[in-house]
Every structure is written in C-alpha cells, then in structure tokens.
Amino acid sequence: MNAHYELPLEDAGYSFGFLDEYAKKEVRRCILKAISIPGYQTPYASREMPMGRGFGTGGLQLTLSLIGEDDTLKVIDQGSDDSVNAVNLRQFVQLTCPGVDVTEKTQEATLIQSRHRIPEKMLTEEQILVLQVPYPDALVVVEPSEARRKVMHGEADYSRLLVKLYEDVVRFDEITISHRYPTRINGHYVIDPSPIPRWDVPRLHQSPALVLLGAGREKKIYAVPPYTVAEPLVFDDIAFRVEDFRDANGQRIACRCCGSTVSFLDELIDDAGNITHQCSDSTYCEEQQETISARKRA
Ligand SMILES: [Zn+2]
C-alpha cells in the first residue's frame, strides 16, 4: 500500500467519471492499442457499471475514461438526443463528471457517444465518436468458437463470411444485411461496426474524427483511427449500396418535417395508418427546419 496515495476528490463518494483512476488508465491504454492496430478487438477488464450490460456500458466506460472538464458531450440513441437510453447515460455522466458541458448540437461536441447512428453532420478532427457495441465480432455468425475466430482474424481469413454474403445473393439477389455490415479496416481486420445502418458505413471511411467502439459485455475495445480505409465487405461484381429511400415512382422520399432528401429516414406510421418519413438524426432535422424558417423570414 502506497502511504502517499490520495483518493481523488476526497469529499465525493466517487472519483471524477465514476471509475477509479486505475480503471480509466487501463481503458486508455487499451484505446491506444486499439488505435495502433486498426480494427483489432482489444480485450479489456470491463467494469461493473450501475446499469445493465446491454445498455451501453462499453461505450460509457470509453466516454468516462476520456472525458475531462473541458469537454462537451453529446449522447444520442438511434439519432435522437431525447430517447430514454440517451437521456439516462447523459444524466449519469453529468452526475459523475461535475463541470462537463452537454450539448445536442453535433458541431459543439468534443465527445459524442452514440447508439446505432453516426450523426448526419460531418465530424471533424477535434471530435471523438464513441459507438456502443452489442456484438463486437463480425465472425460470430459463421464461427462459434472464439479461439478459432481469433486465428481467422489473425490470418485475415474472411472466406466464410464472404460465403455467407454469397448465399444471400443467391437466395435474395442482393445482400440483405441492414445493420452491422462487416467492414474491413485498413485492409486487414473485419469489424462489426455496431448496429449502424448501411447508410452510415461509408462515413467510417477516411473519417476525420476518431471512432472508438466499446463492447462492455464482451469486454472488447476497437477503433477506426482518423483517415483510415474502411471498406464494406463486397464482391467485385456486386457493389455495396446504402438504403435508397424511394417511393413507387422512383422519387426520393423527403423528410415530413424539414423536407430533406439527403438524410437517413425513419419510417413512421401515423394515427391514420399512413406511412410517413422523418430524419433519424433529430438535431439535424431541427437545424434544417430552423434554416428554412430563417430563410422565410429574410
Ligand atoms: Zn428532417
């Protein structure tokens, strides 16, 4: 026992960021390793958090290990700042990190923790995106043994994953994966990019912002460092394509609130049973609406 050891923030029940300094240091060391080997699933000692695993504990541990008093945090869940998961995680960070600012504006945030979406607005070099991951290993659908999966990753042997995609093409004429699309990072490791839609996958490629992925239950951290090649797994003759929101006439569907025809849309059914569409990124949608009303006023 080090006699000179001082508990940080003596008066508080917990240290800044809930986790103790040693835990945060270990997570940061794993982050550095994950950045050094892009796409490699770095094991770490995932801590017990005061919430159920599966509610973003992996992402939260990354955020708490990185956040400092100068940071501004944005938390989103499926593109929305106001859904239950996002609100609770944000409140928890505010409770355990006094002095940290929170925001809903993408461009103001230095740290963005997200579940299932990448913000519509282009991220910058000054920002870090933390994605919550339920299943870190893209190979889990074809190989149950983790030991064997590790060998396959080491040898960059993704032939069985490609066979799985090929079976999709044979059966449905196209690759039917809508979320968690296997993506090769820096020409070697294939990652599960967390349940982001296909729409968001190209935005990992050469992203100016550092993208960190944390799986609390599976105890893995991996990264897509800034300006790194990220390619969805495809065949030479079958191109990767994102969701195209077109109606029966081939017209691009617009958001019912802001009219945007370039954003990822959520499908909603209104009280009358009609299908309508709305931007999934709620902050983006609000900003588009503000721009339109400002233009009308001018
Ligand atoms: Zn909209």
Query: Ligand 1 centroid vs 78 CA: distance in angstroms?
Result: 14
- Nearest CA among 127, 80, 110, 117 for reference residue 197: 117
pLDDT at residue 2 above 70? no
Query: Ligand 1 centroid vs 236 CA: distance in angstroms?
Result: 35
Per residue in 146-160, pLDDT tens?
999 999 999 999 999
Q: What is the mean pLDDT of the chain?
A: 92
Confidence of residue 237 (pLDDT cuts 50, 70, 90): confident
pLDDT at residue 8 above 60? no
Per residue in 122-147, pLDDT tens?
999 999 999 999 999 999 999 999 99
Per residue in 77-87, pLDDT tens?
999 999 999 99
Residue 1 is predicted with a pLDDT of: 45
Residue 194 is predicted with a pLDDT of: 93
Q: What SS3 state is found at 190?
A: strand
Residue 51 is predicted with a pLDDT of: 86
Query: Ligand 1 centroid vs 145 CA: distance in angstroms?
Result: 43
Give the residue numbers marked as catalytic.
39, 255, 258, 279, 285
Per residue in 95-120, pLDDT tens?
899 889 999 999 999 999 999 999 99
Cβ proximity of 67 and 111 under 8 Å: yes
DSSP letter at 82 equals S
Query: Ligand 1 centroid vs 259 CA: distance in angstroms?
Result: 6
Give the mean model confidence (pLDDT) for residues 192-221.
96
Residue 216 is predicted with a pLDDT of: 94
Residue 54 is predicted with a pLDDT of: 84
Confidence of residue 298 (pLDDT cuts 50, 70, 90): confident
Query: Ligand 1 centroid vs 105 CA: distance in angstroms?
Result: 15
Q: Is the pTM of this model over 0.85?
A: yes
Residue 9 is predicted with a pLDDT of: 52
Distances (CA, A) of 207 to 36, 78, 80: 16, 20, 21
Residue 52 is predicted with a pLDDT of: 85
Query: Ligand 1 centroid vs 292 CA: distance in angstroms?
Result: 11
Contacts of 186 (CB under 8 A, 6+ apart): 38, 39, 228, 229, 230
